[in-house]
Structure 1
Amino acid sequence: MNVSRPLYREPTAIGFSGAVRVLLFVGGSVLGLALGYFIPLIAKWALTLPWVPYEGPLKLITSVSGLWATVIASLLGLAAGLWFAQEVIKDTLHVVVSGETIRLEKDGAAQELTRETIGAVFLDGKQLVVLGNKGEELARETYEWASGRIAGALTEHGYPWSPGGDPYKEHFRRWVPDTADLPPAVNALLKAREIALQKKEKGEAKELRREVSKLGFVVRDEGTRQYWRAQTTGS
């Protein structure tokens, strides 16, 4: 797919803006402080309920009183709020599109893909997928924000955006244990990955996807069902 390269100026960043990040930290701080401050009162109220579990920890909380206890509880709540805001930001995909590269940042890691290596980009449900020139999968990351913005940024920068989704979707086949058309090593990886999907171990499933890719196959999911195709279906 030949796409002309526009004369473009500034890179386009898509994800949480600076203002939204500030709001997340401020909101997390306020909620954390409030929760920490009111925890003793909440615990005292909970103990009046006949069915409440964990009475021991709740009684311990209500037994500690005084100014210092309130200050410490509030500070702990503040720390929890800041941690929560940081985790939300870290877990949200940040995309930077320039004339030469697409940069994906998530979970404290970054992946940069050059224009020459990219054959197609599309959304597969809530996942942003980047394919190479021969149909190999270069990146797949969950992306739940402003899908119109990412499509607009990629097309404006001249990347091969596929509005209809995966151009190779007809090549996928449902995986079942010991599929005859797959090497034993790939079947073993997909079996382990099925268990990871059932246990909702996202990190393990992602790592196993990379291992399958190294052996020349692409995997996509529908719930815990896995579908596969060979990488080199493109020209």
Structure 2
Amino acid sequence: MTTVQETAAVRYGIWVACPLAGAAAGWGLGLAATGITTLGWFPFQGVFQLFTDIPQPWGTVVSLGVGAVAGVVFALFWASEMMSVEVSAGGVALRRDDKTFRFGRDEVESAFADGRQLVLLGRDGSELVRETSDLSRAELERAFTGQGYRWRDADPFAAEFRMWVEHAPDLPADVNALFTARRKAISKYETEEAAELAREIRKRGVAVRDEKKRQYYRRER
């Protein structure tokens, strides 16, 4: 079995780098607070005034602490977005946070990278999964070809995708409703909600991909 995942430096380093970066940002913000409170047009004046009202050295301690906590929260979010891919002779498993997507060897026809997304195609040409990650394309290719899977250079069905519009006539009402909900999620940068809605659309036999904030689809059956 071959496992592709972020390097140990990234997986463990974020728990040090993010809090340190957050603490540094908090310290800098604390230093800038006094000057910002003199700018009447600057937003969130109350927040910066609060910093200036805290006596030293506690003001610096609070700035460092708030920044470090923000860094930890960012590290938690980053860790939850990391994906690992396990490729074996028996099948493929994609793991992210508390989600695992498994596919047997007989289900997977091929795999390819579409930008930052890993896509697995089924024997009937349908998309089994399309998940975003920062994993190396070259490492993914080596993992799949090393276990005897077909790796494609590009999406063989790219020309079949068409841009989704409201109430697309060739899509069922429930699929159009999912696309509408997904458009709202994308506009609000709710990436996990958008990804979950894409999975629901895929279950209904429609592949979906994005270009910037536009949604594209192809009917698979």
TM bucket (normalised to shorter chain) is 0.7 to 0.9
The partner residue of 1:167 within 125, 140, 156 is: 156
CA–CA separation in structure 1 for the residues paired with 2:42 and 2:177: 46
The partner residue of 2:129 within 139, 155, 163 is: 139
The partner residue of 2:78 within 88, 91, 96 is: 88
- Asked whether the equivalents of residues 110 and 150 of structure 2 are also in contact (C-alpha less than 8 Å), the reply is yes
* More divergent stretch after superposition (80-89 vs 149-158): 80-89
CA–CA separation in structure 2 for the residues paired with 1:80 and 1:199: 21
2:106 partner SS: helix
CA–CA separation in structure 1 for the residues paired with 2:148 and 2:121: 15
Q: Deviations over 1:165-224 (max 9, x none)?
A: 122223333433344433333333333333443444333332332232232222223233
Aligned to 1:23: 13
CA–CA separation in structure 2 for the residues paired with 1:196 and 1:29: 29
Matches within 5 A, 1:1-235: 11-49=1-39, 51-163=41-153, 165-232=154-221
2:217 partner SS: strand
1:22 partner SS: helix
**Distance change >3 Å, CA 227–CA 32, structure 1 → 2:** closer
User: 5+ residue gaps in structure 1?
Assistant: 1-10
- Asked whether the equivalents of residues 51 and 59 of structure 2 are also in contact (C-alpha less than 8 Å), the reply is no
**Distance change >3 Å, CA 79–CA 183, structure 1 → 2:** closer
User: 5+ residue gaps in structure 2?
Assistant: none
**Distance change >3 Å, CA 145–CA 48, structure 1 → 2:** farther
1:220 partner SS: strand
CA–CA separation in structure 2 for the residues paired with 1:209 and 1:88: 21
* More divergent stretch after superposition (102-111 vs 154-163): 102-111
CA–CA separation in structure 2 for the residues paired with 1:127 and 1:98: 20
Letter in 1 for 2:85: V
* More divergent stretch after superposition (60-69 vs 30-39): 30-39
> Which of structures 1 and 2 has the bigger CA Rg?
1
Give TM-score, length-normalised by structure 2: 0.83
- Asked whether the equivalents of residues 117 and 132 of structure 2 are also in contact (C-alpha less than 8 Å), the reply is yes
1:160 partner SS: coil
CA–CA separation in structure 1 for the residues paired with 2:21 and 2:184: 37
CA–CA separation in structure 2 for the residues paired with 1:190 and 1:63: 49
Q: Deviations over 1:61-93 (max 9, x none)?
A: 111123445434433332222222232222132
Higher RCO by CA contacts (8 Å cutoff, separation 6 or greater): 1
Give TM-score, length-normalised by structure 1: 0.79
* More divergent stretch after superposition (223-232 vs 144-153): 223-232
Paired residues in the alignment total: 221
State the superposition RMSD in angstroms.
Answer: 2.6
1:116 partner SS: coil
CA–CA separation in structure 1 for the residues paired with 2:51 and 2:182: 42
Letter in 2 for 1:197: I
Q: Once the 2 structures are TM-superposed, how far is the Cα of residue 228 of structure 1 from its aligned partner?
A: 2.6
CA–CA separation in structure 1 for the residues paired with 2:166 and 2:25: 49
- Asked whether the equivalents of residues 16 and 89 of structure 1 are also in contact (C-alpha less than 8 Å), the reply is no
Q: Once the 2 structures are TM-superposed, how far is the Cα of residue 141 of structure 1 from its aligned partner?
A: 1.0
CA–CA separation in structure 1 for the residues paired with 2:42 and 2:162: 50
Identity of aligned residues (%): 38
* More divergent stretch after superposition (114-123 vs 18-27): 18-27
**Distance change >3 Å, CA 182–CA 34, structure 1 → 2:** closer
